[in-house]
Amino acid sequence: MRLLAAVCVAALIGAGVAVASEERPTAAELESELVCPVCDSTLDTSNAEIARVMKLRIRELIAAGATKSEIKAEFVDQFGEKVLADPPKRGFHLVAWVLPLVGGGLALVAVGAIVWGWSRTRPPDDPEPPLDPELERRLDDELDRFE
């Protein structure tokens, strides 16, 4: 019960942070979520002139009170969806989100099937060869001495 309560509290805290991030984004946060149209790297790692202009515009929009969605929408209007570091979760771009999950699931199923198959195919146990009659007689004599 305590674990469930802890999970609920963590979820509520995380939801508050997500809402705050949407309403009051930081420049660093947005720079890691937008891509430079010249060098195809995120703005936080790019030194291209257009990236510097975009970073400046992000700071201006934040100062003006724009939300994260509004700022991203402005850049998408200007440069297209390729400016987003993460592809949108709709249409054909949904494949980029679903394919890794499906591939991972299929890989787990394949590995499970292989391991299950290996565990079921054991080589037959070789029967032990019979003892030499003379050796068996000596063994019986030795054992009789200990009784």
Q: Tell whether 71 and 32 lie within a shared domain.
A: yes
Q: Could you tell me if residue 124 is inside a domain?
A: no
Q: Could you tell me if residue 147 is inside a domain?
A: no
What's the rounded mean pLDDT across residues 28-43? Answer: 90
Q: Tell whether 25 and 80 lie within a shared domain.
A: yes
In the prediction, which pLDDT does 4 show?
Answer: 59
What is this structure's pTM?
Answer: 0.52
pLDDT in tens, 7-17: 556 655 654 44
Average pLDDT, the chain: 82
Q: Could you tell me if residue 28 is inside a domain?
A: yes
Q: Provide the number of structural domains found in the chain.
A: 2
Q: Identify the sign of the CA torsion 27, 29, 35, 40.
A: positive
Q: Tell whether 43 and 94 lie within a shared domain.
A: no
Residue 6: pLDDT band by 50, 70, 90 thresholds? low
Which residues contact residue 44 at a Cβ distance below 8 angstroms, ignoring those fewer than 6 apart?
Answer: 28, 31, 32
